[in-house]
Amino acid sequence: TDRKKLHTAPVGQVFRLRPFHVLVATGGGYAGYKKYENYKLEQLEKRGIEVPVKLASEWEVALYKSVPTRLLSRAWGRLNQVELPTWLRKPVYSLYIWTFGVNMKEAAVEDLHHYRNLSEFFRRKLKPQARPVCCVHSVISPSDGKILNFGQVKNCEVEQVKGVTYSLESFLGPRISTEEVHFSQAPSGNSFQQQLVTKEGNELYHCVIYLAPGDYHCFHSPTDWTVSHRRHFPGSLMSVNPGVARWIKELFCHNERVVLTGDWKHGFFSLTAVGATNVGSIRIYFDQDLHTNSPSYSKGSYNDFSFISNNNKEGIPMRKGEHLGEFNLGSTIVLIFEAPKDFKFNLKAGQKIRFGEALGSL
């Protein structure tokens, strides 16, 4: 007959389960299940019902980290760069606006057809009057977001959310050589926290701000300070959603992050941009050598870069409210700084805040 012969192969050759496929499928499914559980916990909290802290075990963290979030984030980043046809831009952006509650009336350019791709839309600028910078208080919010936690650093531990902490030294890394002049005032036997405090009578404070996908994605200088050093930690890109932050201890120490350290009028000051799923790209405007979410890295590694040189002996001066950097999607910013004991935060845990609003003052 004229019928063509159909050649078939054994089922085992057509579809062969590999350990990697099983691991990814299992890890992805479990991560989705935990996301749903976290959503239910958030709903209970909104009703005022206190939920006990339940931390992930080591195997749960390992399983979550087995999901190739870095690869997925790079793929998402490339997808964001694809130019959309003009006719498709408004439907795609409108869906995002509706899903995450974006206020486009604040955008410098409200016309959705202006944004050629998702990346441009995520990094949209605001109208100058949309975020007035507070001139009265000494520290302002560097970004839009939700306040997860704030207060004094105690016992070298920082709270990422209420009841869940991480190590200050693990988060910032070992002492920086360019800061030895500050540390020399403290005996070598002092704790890492005490070594950061440069002036007698001061305390160390922290503030954690979570940027949701619908928030303004740029971040600014929270005060007048000088940036002297950058430390980049390659790492995982797990979600930093408050539900996950409540579940995984030292989540911020696992994830990729960029730590900027320097000085302000009261001593030590640092701002850390923490990466997350689909936020592999962290950009610091004055740091052209920074490249985040590279395909490979050594576990536990980090790289340092000093902004102090023969030509620039003080570092990078930043004014309060000045543009500092940007994320490609929502993430987290952690401020850790030294201030006198009478420094007071003007915040409530869980409140929404916008760039330019006061965090605290003396």
Phi, psi of 303 (to 5 degrees): -130, 140
d(CA 39, CA 362): 37
Residues 6+ apart with CB under 8 A from 240: 210, 251, 252, 255, 274, 276, 331, 332
Contact present, 248 and 238 (Cβ < 8 Å): yes
Can you tell me which residue has the tokens 């089922």?
11
% of the chain beyond a pLDDT of 70: 81
Query: Which is the catalytic residue, given 144, 215, 263, 287?
Result: 144
Question: Is position 342 annotated as part of the catalytic site?
Answer: no
Residue 152 clears pLDDT 60, i.e. is over it? yes
Helical H segments across 248-328, by residue range: 251-254
Out of 80-89, 139-148, 164-173, 189-198, pick the least confident. Answer: 189-198
d(CA 148, CA 349): 6
Give the alpha-carbon dihedral of 68, 69, 71, 73, to 10 degrees.
170
Question: Is position 331 annotated as part of the catalytic site?
Answer: yes
Sign of CA dihedral 73, 77, 79, 85: positive
Strands 202-210 and 145-152, by their bridges, are antiparallel
pTM over 0.85: no
Strands 316-318 and 225-233, by their bridges, are antiparallel
Mean per-residue pLDDT, 251-268: 92
CA atoms within 13 A on the CB side of 272: 25
Query: Which is the catalytic residue, given 138, 141, 270, 331?
Result: 331
d(CA 235, CA 299): 7
Residue 346 clears pLDDT 80, i.e. is over it? yes
Chain segment 18-41, per-residue pLDDT in tens: 554 554 565 556 556 656 666 666
Chain segment 171-219, per-residue pLDDT in tens: 999 876 544 444 444 445 578 888 899 888 899 999 999 998 888 889 9
Instruction: Report helix, strand or coil for 241.
Output: coil
Q: Where are the domains of the chain?
A: 139-174+192-361
d(CA 326, CA 324): 7
Mean per-residue pLDDT, 126-141: 89
- One-letter amino acid at 104 equals M
**Average pLDDT of the chain?**
82
Chain segment 285-325, per-residue pLDDT in tens: 999 889 888 877 777 789 999 998 777 778 899 999 999 99
Contact present, 270 and 153 (Cβ < 8 Å): no
Looking at residue 286, its pLDDT comes to 92
- From start to end of the chain, where are the E strands? 139-140, 145-152, 157-161, 164-167, 202-210, 218-220, 225-233, 257-264, 267-274, 282-284, 303-306, 316-318, 323-327, 332-340, 344-345, 352-353, 358-361
Looking at residue 37, its pLDDT comes to 64
- One-letter amino acid at 157 equals E
Query: Which is the catalytic residue, given 182, 217, 220, 254?
Result: 220
Among the listed residues 262, 274, 279, the one whose alpha carbon sits nearest the alpha carbon of residue 80: 279
Question: Is position 220 annotated as part of the catalytic site?
Answer: yes
Contact present, 282 and 290 (Cβ < 8 Å): yes
Out of 76-80, 135-139, 226-230, 255-259, pick the least confident. Answer: 76-80
Looking at residue 274, its pLDDT comes to 92
